[in-house]
A and B are shown apart, each in its own frame.
Chain A
């Protein structure tokens, strides 16, 4: 049973380019979360998606960042016109149910994508 998969694992972009990060949730999981970890800091929530729906994007910067989770295929986090401050590790997590439901419902994390903006 494969875990959460993310690719690429490492991504280098020049300032002004676009970055696309992909996340495939665990089999049977329909809830996807993106988190960002800046150097020497904890993880911060960015966005929560279900298939074809953005449920909560309160942690996303207002400009340049977008996310989707289409009916088919992985979830995509897209960063347009990257700047040096976007350099961070971006983690995706998945869960089988929404966090508000009862029962065991932990989030499982992928290995992350380390984005470096030069």
Chain B
């Protein structure tokens, strides 16, 4: 089946720093989503981005489908950005998740 790999697995930053999270996938996909799982365990939709670039406030994402990767950018990090960030691709009607990047933002 399709493999989804995220890097780095862990990232610790100071408040105000910028970060880039990467998601590689092993086969072509039609849909890709980014999620933030907050410290309370809730999954929050960030982007639906099968290709191209989208921005939402301090967050933006770019997917290059032909090269099988997606990037999530977080600028001017805040402590509330802490949590685990997952990318997920659709394969045979279901989402296949990466293992996530655990982001810790220190004040």
Residue B99 CB within 8 A of the other chain: yes
Specify the chain B residue showing the minimal Cβ separation from A107. B95
Are A48's CB and B94's CB within 8 A? yes
Are B86's CB and A108's CB within 8 A? no
Are A56's CB and B33's CB within 8 A? no
Specify the chain B residue showing the minimal Cβ separation from A89. B41
Are A43's CB and B33's CB within 8 A? no
Specify the chain A residue showing the minimal Cβ separation from B42. A111
With contacts A41-B99, A42-B99 taken as known, whether A48 is within 8 angstroms of B41 at the C-beta atoms is no
List chain A residues, Cβ under 8 A from B95.
Answer: 33, 35, 43, 45, 93, 107
Residue A44 CB within 8 A of the other chain: yes
Are B97's CB and A44's CB within 8 A? yes
Residue B80 CB within 8 A of the other chain: no
Chain B interface helix/strand/loop/mixed: strand
Q: Which of B8-41 contact A (CB under 8 A)?
A: 30-31, 33, 35, 41
List chain B residues, Cβ under 8 A from A56.
Answer: 92-94
Tell me how many residues of A have a C-beta within 8 Å of chain B.
26
Are A106's CB and B33's CB within 8 A? yes
Are B97's CB and A43's CB within 8 A? yes
With contacts A42-B100, A99-B31, A112-B41 taken as known, whether A104 is within 8 angstroms of B48 at the C-beta atoms is yes
Residue A16 CB within 8 A of the other chain: no
With contacts A48-B93, A55-B93, A98-B93 taken as known, whether A112 is within 8 angstroms of B99 at the C-beta atoms is no
Interface residue from A43, A100, A114 paired with B93 (Cβ < 8 Å) = A100
List chain B residues, Cβ under 8 A from A69.
Answer: none
- Give per-residue flags for A82-118: 1 if the beta carbon is below 8 A from chain B beta carbons, else 0: 0000000101010000111000111111011010000
With contacts A42-B100, A43-B86, A91-B43 taken as known, whether A109 is within 8 angstroms of B93 at the C-beta atoms is no
Q: Which of B22-75 contact A (CB under 8 A)?
A: 30-31, 33, 35, 41-43, 45, 48
Q: A59-B94, A109-B42 known; 16 other A-B pairs, CB under 8 Å? A: A41-B99, A43-B86, A43-B95, A45-B96, A56-B94, A98-B93, A99-B90, A99-B93, A100-B30, A100-B93, A105-B31, A106-B33, A108-B45, A111-B42, A112-B42, A114-B41
